[in-house]
Amino acid sequence: MVANSVQKESQLEQLQEMTTVVVDSGDFEVMKEFHPQDATTNPSLILKAIQKKEYAHLLEKAVAETKAVSMTGQERSEHIVNYLLVLFGVEILKIVPGRVSTEVDAHLSFDVEGSVQKAHELIKLYEQKGVDRASVLIKLASTWEGVQAAKILQKSTINCNMTLLFSFPQAVICAEAGVRLISPFVGRIYDWYKKNTGKEYVGDEDPGVESVHKIYNYYKKFDYDTQVMGASFRNKGQILSLAGCDFLTISPELLAELKASKDTVEQKLSVAKAKAEKIEKVTYDEKAFRYEMNEDAMATEKLAEGIRKFAADEKELEKLILQKL
């Protein structure tokens, strides 16, 4: 008698056993296909989504349902963008069992009070739609001001996801501020080093991967509650090199690659390994943080570039809305 063969799990299924997988998309059908725990959005993803005919109705709905709002011009278009982001978030939460990340306007990246106000506006819109704030992560840029805003918001039980994170000092001040989650951008770090050195980086030697390893080990060594979510991946190897990370947010294309492969996935990160590391605790006040960021050309350039790109896509959303008005 021949024994029944056991169907080997896909790499995606293996990864999901050691890491919470999040989909990096505004596409609902993608979420239904890959069954992620959480979902992340940003202005770039929403701008891309609403240009597809199956999502255009959400823009129409955002404009129609805010007609009674007594605002004009720029203020009104900004409000409709907020409303649109929340409409996407509400639909996403019908699909994913966990949380959705919604981003504060990148133009407020250096404005503590403005960021706090905008976050409260977004949470109010979610709560008006019957969504508990525990299901929402407010995304803020990991500037000094963004982290100070997150510190204030966390005290109001508004959980934050710090985005555009490229350096260890950024991660340290986020943890000290008690933010819920950080999103270190693996692929953009890799892009910078590849462009500036001409070298191809693979596996654990990838500088983006190394950055997340260092941050994860530091957080677990010193028992920070802040969760680490690797983001912005360029290839499957980067993802597999971070197996075991708290969360990984992955594009639909790379999720498909992981789903198609049955190669073995090895756990790279764990609390036990982190505890065994010899690491010194550090802290940064504002002066030290700004100096360390200035010394890191990659982090400085990629942070500035990321803010500009998100701000530009936010403006594009506003232009589409003004056309509708």
How many DSSP H helices and E strands does the chain contain? 15, 8
With vertex at residue 209, the alpha carbon angle to CA 233 and CA 191, rounded to the nearest 5 degrees, is 55
Please confirm, yes or no, whether 287 is among the known catalytic residues: no
How many Å separate Cα 26 from the centre of its chain?
12
Phi, psi values for residue 263, rounded to 5° = -65, 155
Catalytic annotation, pick one of 118, 139, 220, 268: 139
The Cα–Cα gap between 115 and 109 comes to: 7
The one-letter amino acid code at 102 reads: T
Where do we find the tokens 């929403």?
A: 46
The Cα–Cα gap between 84 and 308 comes to: 21
Strand bridging mode 20-24 / 181-184: unpaired
> In angstroms, what CA-CA distances link 281 with 47, 179, 216, 218, 226?
41, 18, 13, 8, 16
Positions marked active-site: 139
